Chains A and B, each alone.
Chain A
Amino acid sequence: MKSVSQVVASLSHVPGVVAAMVVGAVDGLIVETSAVLGATDGAGDPRKHTAALAAYLYAKVTRASNAARLGKPAFMRLEAEKGHICVVGARDVVLVTIVTPDANLGRVRLDMMTAAKGDH
């Protein structure tokens, strides 16, 4: 079983991943995070907001999925203008990555799901 630091380090090295985080599923607080790739001092740090809102969103998606009788969501990807936010649930935490638009999403998805299974 990998530690949260190892999970974050491993995910942050996947090509296209700007930042990887392990976030509390209930409180939305960051448990472990990587640095933001290419971050400049002038730009605000997106991690805290992204972590809290991604965990919140994942909780709502889980409810929607359960309401539709589809069971627990396996993988959530939010596609935006300048990239993606990927979220995978792993018991009491969620894995969150901020990804560039040109990233290999298949690789990101596989690595995140493998990491999440490793937590079980």
Chain B
Amino acid sequence: MEDARLISGVLLYPTGRAVGQFGFSNAADVMSICALTSAINASARELGRQLDGKPFYELYHAGAERQVFMARATAGGQEFLFVGVFDRESSLGVVEIYFAEFQKALEKLLPEKQATVPGPSGDFEGELNRSLDALFGPIGKR
């Protein structure tokens, strides 16, 4: 990661659940990034299917100072997403190389299957409020 000059990165399940992270000090930032990455991945896959007949699995955005790389990784039959931020001192080519090595290392770990998350309970409003409270803190009583 240091060689690729990654500033921060998150490994997550496609559902948006974080597996591991580095470079972040705030849990809310990680949750936001996971939610956005999951949504971007879903959109990119569908866009790829419509435009190219197959899903897009990688995404790269070059900003003025920082660059973002997002890609799919698989290990032990489980699919993951990785999103990393790197500076202008590195390059997409170098990050791709180190990501390929990371992918190989991940495969060796043979992670267990993702724990089954219970489905929606039907209490949509309640779940929404609980999620908002978790993200932004509980709202005081009026």
Q: Are B90 and A56 neighbours in the complex by a CB distance under 8 Å?
A: yes
Residue in A23, A24, A52, A59 whose CB lies within 8 Å of B96:
A52
A28 at the interface (CB under 8 A from B): yes
Distance in Å from the Cβ of B69 to the closest Cβ of chain A? 11
A26 at the interface (CB under 8 A from B): yes
Q: Is the interface of B mostly helix, strand, loop or mixed?
A: helix
Q: Identify the closest chain B residue to A52 (Cβ).
A: B93
B91 at the interface (CB under 8 A from A): yes
A79 at the interface (CB under 8 A from B): no
The winner among B91, B96, B97 for most chain A CB atoms within 10 A is B91
Interface digits, A7-44 against B, CB 8 Å rule (1 contact, 0 not)?
00000000000000001101111000000000000000
Which residues of A have CB within 8 Å of B62?
27
Distance in Å from the Cβ of A28 to the closest Cβ of chain B? 3
Distance in Å from the Cβ of A55 to the closest Cβ of chain B? 6
Which residues of A have CB within 8 Å of B33?
none
A47 to B9, CA, bound (A): 27
Interface size on B, residues (CB 8 A): 8
Chain A: interface residue count, which band? 10 to 19
A99 to B110, CA, bound (A): 39
Which residues of B have CB within 8 Å of A52?
91, 93-94, 96-97
B7 at the interface (CB under 8 A from A): no
Interface digits, B41-55 against A, CB 8 Å rule (1 contact, 0 not)?
000000000000000
A27 to B94, CA, bound (A): 8
A78 at the interface (CB under 8 A from B): no
Q: Are B92 and A29 neighbours in the complex by a CB distance under 8 Å?
A: yes
Distance in Å from the Cβ of A70 to the closest Cβ of chain B? 20
Residue in A27, A49, A53, A59 whose CB lies within 8 Å of B92:
A27
The winner among B92, B93, B96 for most chain A CB atoms within 10 A is B93
Distance in Å from the Cβ of B107 to the closest Cβ of chain A? 16
Report 23 cross-chain contacts, Cβ distance below 8 Å, ordered by A residue: A23-B93, A24-B93, A27-B62, A27-B92, A27-B93, A28-B92, A28-B93, A28-B94, A29-B92, A29-B93, A29-B96, A48-B97, A49-B97, A51-B93, A52-B93, A52-B97, A53-B93, A53-B94, A55-B91, A55-B93, A56-B91, A56-B93, A56-B94
